[in-house]
Chains A and B, each alone.
Chain A
């Protein structure tokens, strides 16, 4: 089975940096994915890590440690529009089976 944990809610200030953690326990692993979802909208794919280390894409970075079952999403220079839910998901070894965490609701305050 798969178990994925994320904090339920986080609050940060505009212009700051925030780190959203994700821990997972899985029977197989073939990649960790991060998504952004604004209320009432579809998720948007942000990043994909399959090897250990940091992947950077503009203001967003994602880190993976497979030995620790741990990932984080780092958001820099926070903007009001970054207020959204952030979803962590693991793809297992068997094809394209994705399991999602519960999501972290981030509120960016002025």
Chain B
């Protein structure tokens, strides 16, 4: 199994409180991502990182911020949680390896965090 973990795995919080989700990898992959998955919407990219301190917004970034101070950790923060942010959050990592004329691509997802905002 790829070395990617998320914490916490489950969280219930109240509207208006700050929440931070952590993604940790041991694969030394360059790229890290945060997604949310909701019924009827599928997977949607929140933010991604292409290196330490290098991040960019995805499709649904409003209300979320991220930080990556080390290669292995990517944090997702909800500054003031709202009920619309109730979802399952997945972290993912990826890397591309050029081997002669071909490109090998690896991508792994973490186990997910189920967040409920009441």
Contacts and interface: CB of A to CB of B under 8 A. Distances in A.
Contacts of B12: none
B59 interface: yes
B41 to A, nearest CB: 8
Given A45-B107, A87-B42, A99 B33 contact: no
Question: Interface on chain B toward A: helix, strand, loop, or mixed SS?
Answer: strand
A100 to B, nearest CB: 4
A87 B50 contact: no
Contact of A97 (B43, B58, B107): B58
Nearest to A44: B109
A103 B106 CA distance: 21
Contacts, number: 52
B90 A99 contact: no
A98 B33 contact: yes
Contacts of A100: 42-45
B112 A42 contact: yes
A41 to B, nearest CB: 8
A45 B106 contact: yes
Question: Interface on chain A toward B: helix, strand, loop, or mixed SS?
Answer: loop
A44 B108 CA distance: 7
In this complex, which of A31, A87, A98, A102 has the most chain B Cβ atoms within 10 angstroms of its Cβ? A98
Nearest to B4: A42
Contact of B103 (A50, A97, A99): A50
A96 B109 contact: no
Contact of A95 (B50, B59, B92, B108): B50
A43 B109 contact: yes
Nearest to B105: A48
A45 B95 CA distance: 12
Nearest to A31: B105
Interface in B43-80: 43-45, 48, 50, 56, 58-59
Interface string B76-118: 0000000000000010101000000001011111111000000
Interface of B: 31, 33, 42-45, 48, 50, 56, 58-59, 90, 92, 94, 103, 105-112
Interface of A: 31, 33, 41-45, 48, 50, 87, 89, 95-103
